[in-house]
A and B are shown apart, each in its own frame.
Chain A
């Protein structure tokens, strides 16, 4: 670790805060506004939506599910038919049914798990009109849900939590599109290609042929990062020089994936009328990101003792699966933010990280994708954790727990536990099954504990809607395509429904004013309690599995064992 490295990390995180604050306030304004712009008016009248009529939580969820179901069907259809559709300069045929199913679920759920190599599978039409569209609207769906949950706490004794169609439209039109245009142009300046050509064939200096895949990369890269989607245009994702040409574009990538999730905490504080509540959530998120980055940075610069023993200079650290231009510091920050965020873009191959360097991103996903989590999904996931934290505090002092002036009762806690238990059920259940099935084990690229980690990582990534991978695993098989798709589907929607039910029950409760007996949820005590609840809950659920994967691998590495 170097001082310059830490300065790079501090600069990027500082730039996120600087931009997130005004963006958060701006989002609070547009989602509270009663005014319907002419563009919205035209869209709503064509869609048959009355923007002034609000929905109950159940209707809101139904609208959200309907929108995502239609999105899934269209995307699936586009992939199955791409061979007969235009904008296919490389002449790719139809995507196989299990892969198309997996990919459609993956992009609709904001996961962007990729069982395929982008440049070898998908036509430009699918990349643009299919995948890019879902990059926007799955992110907009997340923002809408988070705004709806926020309203549940800002209103007193009310029935409705907003209108899904209005929130979705505003998130797309006024947040995602303007930001994407700016970031795409910045990427282009830094060298990210933007063309409709499929590839260029060149003759190298030594006379060999090299086919260089190209495409409309900058426009997809921008929304892929901003929407915490993470699905790359190319197989190597943000490690590919065309997606991420320089240290500067790397810094921009980290900035743009952190921007909206960080801004949502400011939006939250402003909409509930108490900014310190938003700061408290942000402080917990930041603490985990910084601690995780420190661990990865230290572990990767310490390097792999097996290679050093083979005569490799130790000073550069572990360079397998890393490109030179990013540096160890911003690679570590990228690894941690992309997994704390449910983004899943990668600028280094996580499978080749050192055991502890690989444990951190895995654990960040297992902590529930709330640090700071995906656009929207991070905020509502964090609110569920906050309910749990005040519940624990309430048990300790024997008082009815409250959060933001709303009493937390048995119904809300049951729903919160239901949401929380869905993730370990799919992550650990499917991992256990896959670890015993020959059809799944045939996909492993690495033997020993690393093999188990590959499987555990895949299901953690899918259920958490992250999308990054220990990519040695060959996941493009019917078993993995199907089970990972189910994990993604339930990880998103089976989680959202109980969370929205909590919102529905919260919005109906009267907002009480704080008394002397109220546990303040904006101070250091609450921040520490919330962080501890997240860490302990995650540890209890996943430590046994992690002990068999990266932890034992670390011990074996120091003993000099190979597989």
Chain B
């Protein structure tokens, strides 16, 4: 057994230096120089302050903004240091109660079916996107809170919709943080 020990220790040491230290540090060096934005988390700045990452969902509760999906990350959702899904099974009473409660709140007296993403938590708890249907459902509320016509809000939503690339890969989706930033830019941040 001892004859196996020397190569084991030497090679593990060599591979630790190569793959555990040189590889990640070299990658960090290259990417930090060539792609500094991506390397540091695709952060978005407004007025000199970082307001979030374009890849990471953040909570919105004000009627003036579009709301993201429900989130199971951390205690209150959208905890970007504790990503998580709900891990509730399809027959979970907890899941069903939550969905019924959220759906009733969203429906607000109307009878339309609720878009699935509006009442389900994402796998990461940090999904930055909503479906076009869920965004569409929120237009009236946002327009009312901002005192503008729904068509103006709808135009901003349309300008932020993303779909497939090359006609195949990618899903119809809208980035909530980018949409809300575009709303503020187009209609003013206002305080009302």
User: Can you identify 28 A-B contacts, CB atoms within 8 angstroms?
Assistant: A4-B168, A67-B8, A70-B12, A133-B12, A181-B27, A191-B42, A200-B43, A202-B51, A204-B51, A211-B80, A220-B24, A236-B126, A239-B83, A242-B41, A245-B55, A306-B90, A307-B116, A310-B100, A311-B107, A315-B116, A316-B131, A321-B88, A323-B124, A324-B69, A324-B173, A326-B171, A348-B123, A471-B87
A275 within 8 A of B: no
Q: B53 near A: Cβ within 8 Å?
A: yes
Residues of B within 8 A of A347 (CB): 123
Instruction: Give residues in A with beta carbon < 8 Å to B.
Output: 4, 7-8, 11, 43, 46-49, 62-63, 65-67, 69-71, 74, 117, 119-120, 128-130, 132-133, 135-137, 165, 168-169, 172-173, 176-177, 180-181, 184-185, 188-197, 199-200, 202-206, 208, 210-214, 216, 218-220, 223, 234-236, 239-242, 245-248, 251, 303-304, 306-307, 310-327, 330, 346-349, 351-355, 445-446, 448-450, 453, 470-472, 553, 556-557, 561-563
Contacts of B23 in A (CB 8 A): 132, 177, 180-181, 219
- Hey, which chain A residues are within 8 Å of B155, CB to CB? none
Quick one: closest A residue to B14, CB to CB? Answer: A43
Task: Report B19-54 residues with CB < 8 Å from chain A CB.
Answer: 19-21, 23-24, 27-28, 30-32, 34-35, 38-43, 49-53
Most buried by A among B35, B41, B113: B41
Q: Is the CB of B121 within 8 A of A320?
A: yes
Task: List CB contacts (< 8 Å) of B35-79 with chain A.
Answer: 35, 38-43, 49-53, 55-62, 65, 69, 73, 78-79
Instruction: List the 3 closest pairs (A to B, CB-CB), nearest first.
Output: A239-B123, A450-B89, A236-B83
B60 with A206: CB separation less than 8 A? yes
| Interface range on chain B (Cβ under 8 Å from partner) | 35 or more
Are B81 and A320 in touch, CB under 8 angstroms?
no
Given A194-B24, A351-B85, A472-B88, 12 new contacts (CB under 8 A): A71-B12, A180-B19, A202-B52, A212-B81, A216-B27, A303-B116, A314-B116, A321-B85, A327-B170, A353-B90, A557-B91, A563-B93
Contacts of B90 in A (CB 8 A): 304, 306, 318, 320, 352-355, 450, 553, 557
User: Please, which residues of chain A bring their CB within 8 A of the CB of B18?
Assistant: 172-173, 177
Interface presence of B7 (CB below 8 A): yes
Q: What sequence of 0s and 1s flags, for each residue 99-119 of chain B, a beta carbon within 8 Å of any chain A beta carbon?
A: 110010001000001111101
Q: Which residue of B lies closest to A188 (CB)?
A: B31
Kindly count the residue-residue contacts between A and B in the assembled complex, taking CB atoms under 8 Å apart. 384
| Least CB separation from A12: chain B residue | B169
Interfacial chain A residues near B52, Cβ < 8 Å = 202, 204-205, 210, 212
Identity of the chain B residue whose Cβ is nearest the Cβ of A356 in the assembled complex: B90
- A311 lies within 8 A of B113 (CB): yes
Contact of A307 among B93, B99, B123 (CB under 8 A): B99
> In the complex, are the beta carbons of B27 and A133 less than 8 A apart?
no
- Cα–Cα distance between A315 and B58 once the two chains are bound (Å): 26
Q: How far is the CB of B177 from chain A (nearest CB, A)?
A: 7
User: Within the complex, what minimum Cβ distance (angstroms) separates B43 from chain A?
Assistant: 7
Given A213-B80, A324-B131, A472-B89, verify A70-B8 contact (CB < 8 Å): yes
Give the contacting residue for B49; candidates A74, A199, A203, A351; CB below 8 A: A203
Query: Chain B residues with Cβ under 8 A from A326's Cβ?
Result: 171
A130-B20, A323-B127 known; A196-B59 Cβ under 8 A: no
CA distance A311 to B122 in the complex (A): 19
Residue B11 at the chain A interface, CB threshold 8 Å: yes
Question: Inside 8 A of B6's CB, which chain A residues have their CB?
Answer: 47-48
CA distance A66 to B170 in the complex (A): 46
Assess whether B181 is interfacial by the CB under 8 Å rule.
Answer: yes
With beta carbons under 8 angstroms apart, the residue of A168, A202, A310, A562 that contacts B91 is: A562
- Contacts of B16 on A, CB cut-off 8 Å? 74, 129, 133
Q: Which residues of A contact B51 (CB under 8 A)?
A: 202-205
Contact of A310 among B21, B39, B82, B99 (CB under 8 A): B99
Structural contact, A324 and B130, CB atoms closer than 8 A? yes
* B146 touches A (CB below 8 Å): no
Tell me whether B177 and A128 are in contact (CB under 8 A).
no
Q: Do A352 and B85 touch (CB < 8 A)?
A: yes
Cα separation A450 to B52 with both chains bound (whole Å): 37
Nearest chain B residue, comparing its CB with the CB of A234: B83
Pick the most buried of A319, A449, A556, A562: most chain B CB atoms within 10 A of its CB: A319
Contact A193/B38 with A165-B7, A351-B87 known, Cβ cut-off 8 Å? yes
Inter-chain CA distance A216–B56, complex, in Å, is 17
Q: Once the chains are docked, how many angstroms separate the CA of A294 from the CA of B10?
A: 47
**B16 nearest CB neighbor, chain A only:** A133
